[in-house]
Structure 1
Amino acid sequence: MSANSHPTLPPVRLHSDAELARDALGAPLFARAVRLARWAGPDTRVGVGGELATAQLPEAAAVLGLDAADADSAGYASQAWRVAVDTGLVDVTEPEDDGGEGDEERFGTAAPGEDLALVTGGAPGDVLDLWLAALDTVLADAAVPDLDDLVDALDAGGEIDFDRLDWNPGREADFLDEVLANLYLLTVTEGRSADEPVPLPVLAASIVVPDDMGEPTDAVLEQVSDAMMRLDDQFRQLEPIGLVEFRPVDEELMAETDGPLEPEAASAATAVDDEDVSRYGMVRLTPLGLYGIRARMLEAGVDAPAVGELAEKGADALLDAVSFYSESAAQAEIEQWLAGRELPAAAAELLAAARGDDEGGPLRRLRCQQALAPAGPEAEPAVRSVLDDPELGGLARVWLAERGVSDVPAPDPEMVFWLTVDTIAAQLAADGETEELPLLMETLTAHHTGFFDQVWRVEHPATAYVLEAMGRLHPDKKAAKEARKAAFKARSRRPA
């Protein structure tokens, strides 16, 4: 009876495809790739791997408006070219193999690719597909050690000693995927604003520190420090593609520690005020970044829902899904579902989907009640039609009474007790044993003399479960004791 039995990520609120496509086109690295694709032509020379010839990098940098005197310009141009090639914005023809004869370096050619036309003539989804391909390239680059580490790992023959480098491509890619998944979860978690940045130490600790560890050891804090520095470098690379907004680790802080952060710094970074913690780096996923990471998780088989994706599905799929959403996310999804439907038919469909004596039934009925709460007189015929339904009659009476309808028939005692059990079961399934639940239990039982002498007989699959919870949580000790006795009776009468 717990939402934990249905593992899924909270639903994310995404911008429209048109807005996201505009963001993608505005991402600096993607925009550079598009400009180089338009520049590519008969005189463009490429190497064996499709990379831009070294002699052409200054011209490419100039096309991008970069300062040729800047030592980083060639690197920016090379990266943008690689993105253009990997996304299909550029088609390359690699140099032909001359069989090893001659010393002259041979070059291939390049030309704008067919997909370049999608940038201006395609649908927003086409642009986003190109951007996702660009993201794959950037993520692969971000998982590669920096140049200094590669140089340090060269052996006597000039080859990279991977054992010395301690770099495993698969492990690095998995690490970055896990980091981004955690950042996604922190972003969509209820109670946090999607615009609120995450401190880099918090993100690093979420990957490194075991969940069951109390006070981190110095060894673990050192791992957190190492992870922070890796992420500082990686997020610098991911920002130009529009995935994140990133405030790097303060250079003065690095100078103060004379290199990598000490374990004490990693520990202190989680305990200082907002102004200080920002010196250790802050990161947030952009709306485009949320879209991108969700797309990657969906491809990996992760259940990552988005608000609005149930709008075309039936009420049964809607209630099953939003049963495990937070109340606000469920309301947002329900509103979008109702927006495209005639209310009388929608109300009837919701009520029909809310029936069922399975474990999820109480929570479906709670979400159905939530969906019908703002409905006006148009929904009344559908609600009245279930007044005699043993599972929905109580819900219908509550809805009508809240609207001041005077001719609502009084429920029989069996329906009252059934509705009480169903309501508490739904609250337990939605939020667990909250601080507010004891007050709800007290309110529901206060007006019924001999409540526990009768409720254990209710034919509801959650009767014993609810009574056991009342035995633990009811604020009145006498009532709690009676609830435990009633739970025992309810368990005893159920067939083995």
Structure 2
Amino acid sequence: MSAEPHHTLPPVRLHSDAELAREALGAPLFARAVRLARWAGPGTRVGVGGELDAAQLPEAAAALGLEPADEDAAVYASQAWRVAVDTGLVDVTEPDEDAEGAAEAEAGAEGSAHGTAAPGEDLALVTGGAPGEVLDLWLAALETVLADAAVPDLDELVDALDTGGEVDFGRLDWNPQREADFLDGVLANLYLLTVAEGGAGESAVPLPVLAASMVVPDGMGEPTDEVLERVSDAMMRLDDQFRQLEPIGLVEFRPVDEDLMAEASDEDLAAGPSGAPAGDDEDVSRYGMVRLTPLGLYGIRARMLEAGVEAPAIGELSGKGADALLDTVSRFPESAAQAEIEQWLAGRELPAAVAELLAAARGDDEGAPLRRLRCQQALATAGPEAEPAVRAVLDDAELGGLARVWLAERGVGDVPAPDAEMVFWLTVDTIAAQLAADGETEELPLLIASLTAHHSGFFEQAWRVEHPATAYVLEAMGRLHPDRKAAKEARKAAFKARSRQG
């Protein structure tokens, strides 16, 4: 999978390897490949490319429990055989091409040489291997299916044959790398849409939305007729590809309604700049819906990691220190950060873990305010046993305010009141953290107004606060404060803070 290295995605919530391995074994295409691997034996004949001899396809179909007379049975058997060979579930010995040529010359086509096949060593991993080994087999099967999905259908290939029986790729307008990159891009977008919604893959994505994500230029308003037609073409291409990807367990897919296709025009298929059709949910679903399965999330993430994309998963930080935890979850959405923090705390003695978190939250670097916010988030679920570690930092200039807030929220008595310097410092730190976490949100002006309303002459004092982000925060308050007079005072204070900092 091609991708830009060092690009960080939101974290994904993965099922356990054991659960994923069970899903892999239950994927219809993979299960058929396993059955054919067990069926392979001394009488199995293969061609030069390891493909199953055409005369044996009905027998292979029967081994899969399919009706050999069914026109799709041979296709299913051929696909499953190719997966079995590519994954090592089957070992093939291809025919000697010179021997095959001699046999054909002597006995005609019916007497041509064949290779042989037998169950491969990796077949034993299906029942005796660790979950990770099963998943490695499934990933190899996925690569085969993705390669097949990027190939034009048979009718297009036949139409593109030249007089010599070779495929004229110019007439076909098919570039293998371009097609593979397109499918990779689609799956990357589907993954991103999934993890952006929480990473569990619960919501299906309308097919026109995915098609539009690959076709409609960024920032385009009303798409042109040409762009709409390209969205429609991409949508139908994806419809065919997701039909091929569903049997391997990558996606759950509702195809485009064939009756709808008979009725709809290109404009109907891609209405609006997003490419999503107008209408209610039922109407949208008729244009096709796709969802990555938990196994699909695992598979696409594995391919991204191999391509150099930073694609974190919840739980990966459980064995690391608090400094790595806070630095990393500072880049996560809040719900994902909370899930990661909970897993980190679950494997530790709470008093020691809280002390480690508080120590990691210190600092005057640019990321420190957000680390303290995530530390506060981590402490929110801590019980009374955390109190000694929290009390130990009451006199700390950077953590004392955070500690007082935690103790006050739990109704703990005997908590010393903060001095004015600590109150102002904590206000600046809190706003700096919110800006780093979410940017200038609609809620931030309300928070700013609330924090400043409790302190008369706030901006008279705020510019003197010894915090690295003081000027930056005051400038933001000057832009965002809902009261025009207060906003003006904030801008003046920001100027003084900049001058003071040199």
Same fold, TM exceeding 0.5?
Answer: yes
Other-structure match for 1:443: 450
State the one-letter code of the partner of 2:159.
Answer: D
Distance apart, 1:181 and its partner CA: 0.6
- 2 CA distance for matches of 1:356 and 1:201? 47
Corresponding position of 1:476: 483
Alpha-carbon distance in structure 1 between the residues aligned to 2:259 and 2:338: 46
- Following the alignment from structure 2 to structure 1, what is the Cα–Cα distance between the partners of residues 261 and 493? 64
How far did residue 460 of structure 1 move?
A: 1.2
- Give the whole-Å Cα distance in 2 for the aligned partners of 1:476 and 1:45: 82
What is the identity percentage for the equivalent residue pairs of Structure 1 and Structure 2?
85
Amino acid paired to 1:359: E
Q: How does 1:399-438 map to 2 (within 5 A)?
A: 399-438=406-445
CA–CA separation in structure 2 for the residues paired with 1:190 and 1:441:
28
CA 1:192 to 1:377, structure 2 compared with 1: closer, same or farther past 3 Å? closer
> Any unmatched runs of 5+ in structure 2?
1-5, 105-110
Question: Residue type matched to 1:57 in 2?
Answer: L
Structure 1 residues 184, 255: closer, same or farther in 2, change over 3 A? same
By how many angstroms is 1:243 displaced?
Answer: 0.4
Aligned partner letter, 1:79? Q
Tell me, in whole angstroms, the C-alpha distance in 1 between the residues paired with 2:268 and 2:259. Answer: 17
Question: Within the alignment, does 1:208 sit opposite 2:223 as a pair?
Answer: no
Deviation at 1:193, TM superposition (A): 6.9
Q: Say if 2:70 is the partner of 1:66.
A: no
Partner of 2:107: none
Assess if the C-alpha contact under 8 Å between 1:221 and 1:264 holds in 2. Answer: no
Q: Is there any run of 5+ residues in structure 1 with no aligned partner, and where?
A: 1-5
The secondary structure found in structure 2 opposite 1:316 is: helix
- Name 2:44's counterpart in structure 1: 44
Q: Does structure 2 conserve the Cα–Cα contact (< 8 Å) formed by 1:29 and 1:241?
A: yes
Answering whether residue 283 of structure 2 is matched by residue 282 of structure 1, we say: no
Q: Which residue of 1 aligns with 2:3?
A: none
Following superposition, the deviation at residue 377 of structure 1 comes to: 1.7
SS in 2 for 1:363: helix
Match of 1:130 in 2: 137
Structure 1 stretch displaced more, 343-352 or 384-393:
384-393
Retained in 1: the 8 A contact 2:11–2:199? no
3-state SS of 2:364 partner: coil
1:448 Cα deviation (Å)? 1.5
Measured after TM superposition, the shift of residue 296 of structure 1 is 0.7
Aligned to 1:111, the other structure's residue is in SS state strand
Aligned to 1:77: 77
Letter in 2 for 1:151: V
Residues 318-467 of structure 1: pairs in structure 2 closer than 5 A:
318-467=325-474
Structure 1 match to 2:498: 491
Per-residue deviation, 1:218: 0.7
Letter aligned with residue 267 of structure 1: A
- Equivalent residue of 2:407, what SS? helix
**Counterpart of 2:29?**
29
- CA offsets per residue over residues 108-149 of structure 1, 9 Å max, x none? 111111110000001111111100000000000000000011
Q: Which segment is superposed worse, 34-43 or 7-16?
A: 7-16
Question: 1:225 deviation in Å?
Answer: 0.5
TM-score by length of 1: 0.96
CA deviation vs aligned residue, 1:294-330 (integer Å, no higher than 9, x gap): 1111111111111111111111111111111111111
CA distance in 2, matches of 1:404, 1:314: 30
Structure 2 letter corresponding to 1:76: Y
Letter aligned with residue 173 of structure 1: A
* Counterparts in 2 of 1:166 and 1:265: CA distance versus 1, 3 Å: same
Q: What is the CA–CA distance in structure 2 between the aligned matches of 1:155 and 1:433, rounded to whole Å?
A: 60
1:97 aligns with 2:101: no
On the 8 A contact 1:14/1:306 being kept in 2, the answer is yes
Provide the residue aligned with 2:269 in structure 1: 265
Question: Which residue is equivalent to 1:234?
Answer: 241
Aligned residue in 2 for 1:11? 11
Distance 1:275 1:193 in 2: 23
**Aligned residue pairs: how many?**
487
User: What code does the residue aligned with 1:206 have?
Assistant: S
Aligned 8 A contact 2:83 2:144 in 1: yes
The whole-number CA distance in structure 2 between the counterparts of 1:95 and 1:151 is 27
Q: Give the letter for the 1:23 counterpart.
A: E
Deviations 1:55-89 (A, max 9, x none): 11110000001111111111110110000010010
1:3 alignment partner in structure 2: none
Alignment partner of 2:65: what SS? coil
Contact preservation (8 Å) 1:190, 1:326: no
Q: Is 2:20 the counterpart of 1:20? A: yes
Counterpart residue type for residue 163 of structure 2? A
Shift of 1:192: 8.5
**Which letter maps to 2:339?**
A
Bigger Cα displacement from structure 2, 473-482 vs 404-413 = 404-413
Give the alignment's Cα RMSD to 1 decimal: 1.4
TM-score (structure 2 length as normaliser): 0.95
Asked if 1:220 is matched to 2:221, the reply is no
Q: Shift in Å at residue 7 of structure 1?
A: 5.4
Contact in 1 for aligned 2:362/2:399 (Cα 8 Å): yes
Q: 2:317 aligns with which of 310, 316, 322?
A: 310
Residue type matched to 1:196 in 2?
S
**CA-CA distance at 1:390 after TM superposition:** 1.1
Q: State the 1:255 CA deviation.
A: 2.3
Change (3 A) 1:190 1:97: closer
